[in-house]
Structure 1
Amino acid sequence: MMLRSFLGQCKRCHPIITRKPTLALPFASLSSSKAPSITVPVSDNLHKLNNKDWLSPNQVLKIFSNLKDPESVISVLNQYSKRKDYKPNEALYTLVINQLAQAKSFDAIDHVMERIKAENKCRLSDGFFYNVIKIYGNMAGRIRKAIDTLFDMPSYNCWPTVKTFNFVLNLLVSAKLFDYVHEIYLSAPKLGIEIDACCLNILVKGLCENGNLQSAFYVLDEFPKQNCRPNVRTFSTLMHCLCEQGKIEEAFGLLQRMEEDGVDADTITFNILISGLRKQGRVKEAMELLERMKLKGCHPNPGSYQEVLYGLLDKAMYVEAKELAGRMIYEGMSPSFVSFKKLIHGFCREMSAEDLDWVLKRMVKQGFVPKMGMWREIVQCVLSRNNTCISSNISEIVNS
């Protein structure tokens, strides 16, 4: 069952992408496919291309690997193609494209891809196209070309795997092109893709980041219909979105659903809930949850403790914060510089010299150096405290 019925609520109406979609995306347009004219530098290996001796695939790879100027790749490839023993393979094409990507010659990669299709000299794997799509999407910022390459794979006699399909989906989510995520998802059958849990998790992530929590929960209910099972990542993504919207009770309800479904919460899950409690000022509950996660066999990490520590500091519970900081240090974790700074500020306001001394010593041992403003505050606190003690002693003498 496809998700058009409910995912369509959060998007504009777009035509389904065909094999070569035309998307009006705000990225660089395609340039001319003509190969650039580049002068080949002299190399000890290049002279082998002019010899009539037969070259093995490994020798050819070595010639291209030793090119000092990546921009000369196209010219050398043209020179190699004129030989009678010209027989390119996937390893060579991958090397050529990676070198062009290193030189940021992305237009030249377009030319190579068109050349590969026209020559039809060898079969290419999904891994080859995954690499090309990754270059277009991550290095070149050409999301359109990444999508076009995905849909053009069958014309190279290669069908994408769900890994490559999911990479494109995640690429669109990361670029916040949420409308197009739905279109690509609906095209899965045309590409022979069988939807998996990872694919549905990407949809959940996209819907949550788009603020469409209701549709994200529809996707959660869709898992069993697609013969998939939601995992801890699915629930954690939904919990994070709930906590961001201040719906902490619903987030805990989802934790209970996890347990009923036999999905074990991990440290990230508990950290999301602890952070949600802290944002609502429910520090004591956050501390209780910190202990609860241990009982569940889930070990807190520095992030777990740090969220509770910040919550205590926000509530000006400096003594409790000091105890938790000491516990962190004892367990081999280091409170943040900001935590030490807030502790110093708090104990200065309370004029607690002993606690200040403790914080300073631990701070230095953890490799942090107090800044000038912090020293100024500490000195003022100590002087004020001493003056108070002197005044108190004088009063006792007068009264006696």
Structure 2
Amino acid sequence: MFSRHRSLLPHLTSSHKPPPPHFSLFSSSQPSNPTPTPNTNTNTNTNNKDNKILSRFHHKDWLTSKEATTLINSLTNPSTALTIFNLYSSRKDYNPTQPFCISLITKLAQSHHFNSIDTLLKSLPRKQHCFTEDFFFGLIKMYAHKANRIDKAIETLFDMPNYGTWPSSKTFNFVLNLLVNNKLYDTVLDVYLSATKLGFEIDACCLNIMIKGLCKRGELEGAFKVFDEFPKLGIPRNERTFCTLMHGLCEKGMVDEAFELLERMQKEKICVDVMVFNVLINGLRKKGKIDEAIEVLEVVMMRNGCYPNESSYQHVLYGLIDFKRFEEGKRVVEKMILKGFVPSYDSFKGLVLGFCREGLVEEVDWGVKGMVRMGFVPRMGMWRQIVKCVVVSKDHVCVSLDGILYDDL
């Protein structure tokens, strides 16, 4: 499996990039419209509102956690949340419930006060089951994506049992996949081996992530060892298991071995979905076996009751362009459009430039008009080649220039 010759968490505690100024702790969505710059009157009103909220925390009357949560949510300046936290945590009625903590953490994260979030967590009651797994899952996502602190995400995962909460497959595998995507392979193994300590029972998703990490690292032998662990652990393999391993094989140019896994899937009666075939088509394309890729697209997939999607056609299209089979590429584009798919900008660019090199003005005209209908705009470099192609084809200069530059544009 993963070797241990490298440091576990290189540079994770170095300075991190702050998140955007507006987000919710449990949502990755960002507001579509930026907040307008307030004028002086607006700033005054904002300060007055936040000052009134602060005064409530100074007041000696009993303050319920529900009221404190409402006040936190009403803040207009997220930075004020740090002052409120300091005031509220020093009160006798301090009661950091889950709703309050979610609201406070969201505000603190908006104002980049991540160290204060650490302080808040240390003040929470332990071993009392006051906080759900969703709370910690949102916290881990915030550390990973907003604060860019993967070390804190891992620390939070291991700290969950101290609060009487144990990670489920959703949280454990999120962290595992996060580490694989960030190429922290040594730490992946450490987290994986800590599953029992965290009360987590290894599942298919977990093993699939391990296979993904091993394949990314180029350790196919280790990936196959994990593949063989499924029956030993009594866990059935699924289509993602095979697809992930096939992708690793194809990246190494071992397409024949990937097809052997396809046969094994069929023998084990595991559903072969479009993603599996897309991996195989792309593998064939990278090996230069474009005719075999076309056969998989047009024959093999349909024979297995699987319908190609946009990516299926796109992989074949790129292969045809690579081999300068532009007329066939044009037919694939027309078929994609007929099925409601949108060929990529690079596909159109490859075809148009290919037709330019071959001096096929009418095909160039077709390609440019098709690009525009799909919402793409040819760039200056393309226009130079287009004009050069048209000028060389003297018999078509006037008609073609008018058609390409003005008609339907």
TM-score where L is the length of structure 2: 0.80
> What is the aligned partner in structure 1 of residue 330 from structure 2?
322
Deviation at 1:337, TM superposition (A): 2.6
Deviation at 1:269, TM superposition (A): 1.5
Map 1:128-143; keep pairs closer than 5 Å. 128-143=135-150
Superposed, 1:362-381 pairs within 5 Å as 362-381=370-389
Q: Say if 1:286 and 1:308, in contact at 8 Å, map to a contact too.
A: yes
Question: Could you say which residue in structure 2 is the equivalent of 1:26?
Answer: 11
For 2:50 and 2:358, the matched residues in 1 are separated by 75
Q: Which residue, 261, 268, 286 being the options, matches 2:268?
A: 261
Hey, what's the Cα distance between the residues in 2 that align with 1:319 and 1:191? 58
Shift in Å, 1:179 = 1.3
1:352 counterpart = 2:337: no
Q: Does 1:166 align with 2:151?
A: no
Q: Verify: 1:236 aligned to 2:248, yes or no.
A: no
Cα offset for 1:96? Answer: 1.3
Is there any run of 5+ residues in structure 1 with no aligned partner, and where? 1-6, 15-21, 31-38, 389-400
Paired letter, 2:233: Q
**AA paired with 2:162?**
S
The one of 274, 278, 287 equivalent to 1:280 is 287
Contact 1:88 1:121 in 2 (8 A): no
CA offsets 1:124-145 (integer angstroms, 9 cap, x no match): 2222222222222222233232
Question: Where does residue 193 of structure 1 map in the other structure?
Answer: 200
Aligned counterparts of 1:310 and 1:256: Cα–Cα separation in 2: 26
Are the structure 2 counterparts of residues 86 and 270 from structure 1 closer, same or farther at C-alpha, using a change threshold of 3 Å?
Answer: same
With over 3 angstroms needed to count, the CA separation of the structure-2 counterparts of 1:312 and 1:76, relative to structure 1, is same
Q: Which amino acid aligns with 2:249?
A: L
Q: Describe the SS at the equivalent of 2:197.
A: helix
Aligned 8 A contact 1:134 1:146 in 2 = yes
Contact 1:89 1:121 in 2 (8 A): no
Q: CA separation in 2, counterparts of 1:83 and 1:40?
A: 23
Distance in 2, Cα, partners of 1:369 & 1:42: 49
Say which one has the larger Rg: 1
Give 1:42-121 correspondences, 5 Å limit. Answer: 42-51=50-59, 53-117=61-125
Matched letter for residue 307 of structure 1? H
Q: Is the 8 A contact 2:128 2:163 kept in 1?
A: no
- AA aligned to 1:26 is H
After superposition, what is the alpha-carbon deviation per residue over 1:186-207, rounded to whole angstroms, capped at 9, x for unaligned? 1111221111111111111111
Q: Which amino acid aligns with 2:337?
A: I
Structure-2 change in CA distance of 1:221 and 1:100 (3 Å): same
> Which residue of structure 2 lines up, in the alignment, with residue 33 of structure 1?
none
Contact 1:87 / 1:121 at 8 angstroms: preserved in 2? no
8 Å Cα contact 1:90/1:122 also seen in 2: no
Q: What amino acid sits opposite 1:131 in the alignment?
A: G
Letter in 1 for 2:116: A
For 1:151 and 1:360, how far apart are their aligned partners in 2? 56
Please, which of 300, 320, 331 is the counterpart of residue 312 of structure 1? 320
Q: 1-side partners of 2:199 and 2:372: how far apart?
A: 59
Structure 1 residue 223 displacement after superposition: 1.2
Q: CA deviation at 1:324?
A: 1.5
- Deviation of residue 382 (structure 1)? 4.0
Question: Could you state the TM-score of these two structures normalised by the residue count of structure 1?
Answer: 0.82
Instruction: Give distance in 1, aligned partners of 2:325 and 2:108.
Output: 58
In 1, the alpha carbon distance for the partners of 2:275 and 2:232 equals: 27
**Distance of 1:363 and 1:29 partners within structure 2:** 45
| Structure 2 residue 161 is matched with structure 1 residue 154 | yes
Distance in 2 of aligned mates of 1:71 and 1:264: 52
- Relative to 1, partners in 2 of residues 1:221 and 1:116: Cα closer, same or farther, differing over 3 Å? same
Query: Once the 2 structures are TM-superposed, how far is the Cα of residue 315 of structure 1 from its aligned partner?
Result: 1.6
Higher mean displacement: 297-306 or 233-242: 297-306
Give the alignment's Cα RMSD to 1 decimal.
2.9
Matched residues, percent identical?
Answer: 48
Output the CA distance in 1 between the equivalents of 2:50 and 2:355.
Answer: 71
SS at structure 2 position matched to 1:190: coil
Answer yes or no: is the 8 Å Cα contact 2:214–2:223 preserved in 1. yes
Separation in structure 2 between the aligned mates of residue 200 and residue 319 of structure 1, nearest angstrom: 44
1:45 alignment partner, SS class? helix
